[in-house]
Amino acid sequence: MSGDSGALEADHLPSMETLLTLLNLDYPGLEKVKEAARYERYSEALAELRAYFINRPVPGGFPAHADRTVIPAYVREHCPEELGLVLRTADEVLKQTFLFRFPWDMERTRIPVVFTEKIDWNHVPSGDVEWPYMLNRHRYWIALGQASVLTGGECYAERLCRQIEDWIDRNPLPGDPAGSLNWRSIEAGLRGTNWTKAVSYILDSPFLTGELLCKFLLSLHTHAAYLAASFNGWKNISNWGVLESCGLLHIARFLPEFRQSGEWTALALARMNATASLQILPDGMHWEQSPTYHHEVLHCYLEMLHLCHSGGLRADEAATDAVHRMARASLDASRPDRRQTMTGDSDSLDISTVIAAAALIFKDPVLRFGGGDCPGYDNAWLFGAAGLRQYERLGPELPPLLSRPFPYSGNYCMRSGWDEQALFLLLRCAPLGGGHGHADSLHIDLYAYGKELLTDLGRYSYSNEEPLRTKLKRPSAHNTTVVDETDFTEILDTWEFGHIAFPAGVRWISQPDFDYAEASHDGYRRLEDPVYPRRRILFLKPHCWLLIDTFDCSGEHRFRQYFHFPPGQVSLSRDTGVCLTRNADSANLCVIPAANPGLAATMEESSVSYEYNRIEAASCAVYEIAGSGTVSITQLLYPLPAGSAALPLLENVPVYRYTGELVTAAQAEAFRILLPGQPEMIVLICHRPPSLHADSLVVEGIQVFGEVVVIEPGKPGSQARVIK
Concatenating the DSSP letter of every residue in 56-93 gives SPPPTTS--TTHHHHHHHHHHHH-HHHHHHHHHHHHHH
User: What letter would DSSP give residue 717?
Assistant: S
DSSP-assigned states of every residue in 396-429: ----S-SSEEETTTTEEEEES-SSTT--EEEEE-
Sign of CA dihedral 164, 168, 170, 171: positive
The per-residue b/e assignment along 267-286, b for 16 or more CB within 10 angstroms, e otherwise, is: bbbebbbbbbeebbbebbbb
Task: Please give the torsion angle defined by the CA atoms of residues 684, 687, 689 and 695, in that order, rounded to the nearest 10 degrees.
Answer: -70
Cα angle for residues 76, 78, 80 (degrees, 5° grid): 55
**Does a cis peptide bond (omega within 30 degrees of 0) precede residue 542?**
yes
User: What gap in Å lies between CA 689 and CA 440, rounded to an integer?
Assistant: 27
Find out whether 534 and 552 touch, Cβ atoms under 8 Å: yes
Residues 150-203: tens digit of each pLDDT: 999 999 999 999 999 999 999 999 999 988 999 999 999 999 999 999 999 999
Does this model's pTM top 0.75? Answer: yes
DSSP-assigned states of every residue in 288-324: T--HHHHHHHHHHHHHHHHHHHHTTPPPPHHHHHHHH
- Phi and psi angles of residue 86, each rounded to the nearest 5 degrees, phi first: -65, -45
User: What gap in Å lies between CA 146 and CA 157, rounded to an integer?
Assistant: 9
User: What gap in Å lies between CA 80 and CA 432, rounded to an integer?
Assistant: 39
DSSP-assigned states of every residue in 87-99: HHHHHHHHTTEE-
Q: Is 592 exposed, middle or buried (0-12, 13-18, 19+ CB in 10 A)?
A: buried
Residues 324-380: tens digit of each pLDDT: 999 999 999 999 999 999 999 999 999 999 999 999 999 999 999 999 999 999 999
First CA to last CA across the chain, in angstroms?
Answer: 73
User: What gap in Å lies between CA 650 and CA 577, rounded to an integer?
Assistant: 12
Report the Cα 352 to chain-centroid distance in Å.
12
Sign of CA dihedral 325, 330, 333, 338: negative
Q: Which residues contact 120 (CB under 8 A, 6 or more apart)?
A: none
Q: Which residues contact 41 (CB under 8 A, 6 or more apart)?
A: 10
User: Counting every residue, how long is the chain?
Assistant: 724
Find out whether 615 and 468 touch, Cβ atoms under 8 Å: yes
Low-confidence ranges of the chain (pLDDT < 50): 1-12
Q: What is the pLDDT of residue 13?
A: 57
User: What letter would DSSP give residue 595?
Assistant: P
What's the mean pLDDT when you consider all of the chain?
95
Task: Please give the torsion angle defined by the CA atoms of residues 413, 293, 563 and 638, in that order, rounded to the nearest 10 degrees.
Answer: -30
- Phi and psi angles of residue 218, each rounded to the nearest 5 degrees, phi first: -65, -40
User: What letter would DSSP give residue 664?
Assistant: P
The per-residue b/e assignment along 148-165, b for 16 or more CB within 10 angstroms, e otherwise, is: bbbeeeeebbbbbbebbb
- Phi and psi angles of residue 116, each rounded to the nearest 5 degrees, phi first: -85, -20
Alpha helices, H only, 182-287: 185-200, 210-229, 233-236, 239-254, 261-279
Task: Please give the torsion angle defined by the CA atoms of residues 188, 190, 193 and 195, in that order, rounded to the nearest 10 degrees.
Answer: -60
CA dist list (Å): 432 to 12, 243, 286, 345, 489: 56, 22, 12, 11, 9
Closest CA to 284 of 242, 328, 338: 328
